[in-house]
Amino acid sequence: MSNLRINRKKNKRFGILICVAAILLGILLAAFIYRLVSGKPFASVFRGFLPWFLALAVSAVAYGTPLMFGTLGEILTEKSGNLNLGVEGIMFMGGAFGLGGAYYYNQLASNPNGYVAIAIAIISAFLAGAIASLIYSFITITLRANQNVTGLALSIFGTGVGQFTGEFMRVKAGSYITLSNDLKDFFIMCPFPKFIQNIPVIGRLIFGHGIFFYLGIIVAVILAFYLNKTRSGLYLRAVGESPATADAAGINISKYKYLATVIGGGISAIGGMVFITTIAGCTWNHEGLSGFGWLSVALVIFCLWRPTAAIWSAVLFGALVDLYNRLHLAFLPDEIYKILPYVVTVIVLIFSSLRNNKEKQPPASLGLAYFREDR
Site for another protein contains 336 (CB under 8 A) = yes
Question: What distance in Å separates the CA atoms of residue 83 and residue 149, rounded to the nearest whole number?
Answer: 10
Q: What counts of helices (H) and strands (E) characterise the chain?
A: 17, 0
Greatest Cα-to-Cα distance within the chain, rounded to the nearest angstrom: 71
The contacts of residue 55 (CB under 8 Å, 6+ apart) are 326
Min dist. Cβ of residue 143 to another protein (A): 4
- Asked whether position 168 contacts another protein by CB under 8 A, the answer is yes
Q: Is residue 160 at the binding interface for another protein, with CB under 8 A as the rule?
A: yes
Among 37, 171, 173, 202, binds another protein (CB under 8 A): 171
Work out which of 65, 82, 150, 296 binds another protein, going by CB under 8 A.
Answer: 150
- Residue 299-328 contact track with another protein, rule CB under 8 A, x = bound: --x---------------------------
| Between 98 and 158, CB nearer to another protein | 158
Q: Which residues, 6 or more positions from 158, have their beta carbon under 8 angstroms from its beta carbon?
A: 86, 88, 89, 90, 91, 92, 93, 132
Does residue number 359 form part of the binding site for another protein (CB under 8 A)? no
- 219 vs 298 by CB, closer to another protein: 298
Give the x/- contact pattern for another protein in 79-118, rule: CB under 8 A: ----x-x---x-----------------------------
Total chain residues near another protein (CB under 8 A) = 52
Stretch that binds another protein, among 58-66, 134-142, 239-247, 309-317 (CB under 8 A): 134-142
User: Is residue 70 involved in binding another protein (CB under 8 A)?
Assistant: no
**Which of 360, 352, 324 shows the shortest CA–CA distance to 339?**
324
**293: nearest Cα among 268, 314, 312:** 268
Question: Distance (Å, rounded) from C-alpha 8 to C-alpha 14?
Answer: 10
> In whole angstroms, what is the distance from residue 323 CA to residue 120 CA?
32
| Best CA proximity match to 145, nearest among 363, 372, 371, 362 | 371
- Which residues form the interface with another protein (CB under 8 A)? 83, 85, 89, 135, 138-139, 142-146, 148-150, 152-164, 167-168, 171, 291, 294, 297-298, 301, 333, 335-336, 338-339, 342-343, 345-346, 349-350, 353-354, 362, 366-367, 373
